[in-house]
Amino acid sequence: MAERSCMTTLCYIENEEAYLMLHRVSKKHDINKDKWIGVGGHFEEGESPEECLIREVREETGLTLTNYRFRGLVTFSPDTAPTEYMCLYTADGYEGEIGPCDEGVLEWVKKEDVLKLNIWEGDKIFFRLMNEGRGFFSLKLEYAGDCLVRAVLDGEELKIQKSKEEAG
């Protein structure tokens, strides 16, 4: 079996002020278990980011993307798994019908409600950047378990808000 690529795509499909979100509930040993994320996955040998994006979106949703935008590169560095380099996209053009997904449950979620979901803490940073219409960015996110311990945006350290429990 070929080793999995450390390069992935992650796409947030937009429609009428909502994102298509994937509630990852299907796989037992999944770093994203019970989290809400976009759709995407690991590059196959020889694929470009766009080829991976289009294939993964079709496999996970049944949709064929017709308009998408490369928003940023996210370096996802958990303490429990190898570092993953995610090519982050948004898409607002697609054809087809949403079908079943073997990764979890697909649901349209209003953009204003996304931050209320069980998402990775660092995802809140890139949602803010995307909502502000920021140009291409590089974001490094380091985690200890589910806790975001360091975030670096375009080479600049970001201040991380501590939860009430962590602050003591």
pLDDT for position 165: 46
Q: Is residue 20 part of a domain?
A: yes
CATH number at residue 20: 3.90.79.10
Tally of domains in the chain: 1
Q: Is residue 139 part of a domain?
A: yes
pTM of this structure: 0.89
Q: How far is CA 26 from CA 13, 32, 108, in A?
A: 21, 10, 18
In this prediction, residue 168 has a pLDDT band, given cuts at 50, 70 and 90, of: very low
Domain that holds residue 18: 7-167
Q: Is residue 117 part of a domain?
A: yes
Q: Is residue 2 part of a domain?
A: no
- φ/ψ of residue 85, rounded to 5: -105, 110
* Paired tokens of 131: 């909502």
Looking at residue 114, the DSSP 8-state letter turns out to be G
Q: Work out the average pLDDT over 68-92.
A: 95
- Quick one: which of 140, 108, 145 has its CA closest to 125? 140
Q: How far apart are CA 57 and CA 39, in angstroms?
A: 6
Q: Is residue 73 part of a domain?
A: yes
Q: How far apart are CA 70 and CA 72, in angstroms?
A: 6
Q: Give the distance between the most distant pair of CA atoms in the chain.
A: 50
What digits encode the pLDDT tens for the residues 18-72?
999 999 776 666 677 778 999 999 999 999 999 999 999 999 999 999 999 999 9
Q: For the chain, what is the radius of gyration of the CA atoms?
A: 16
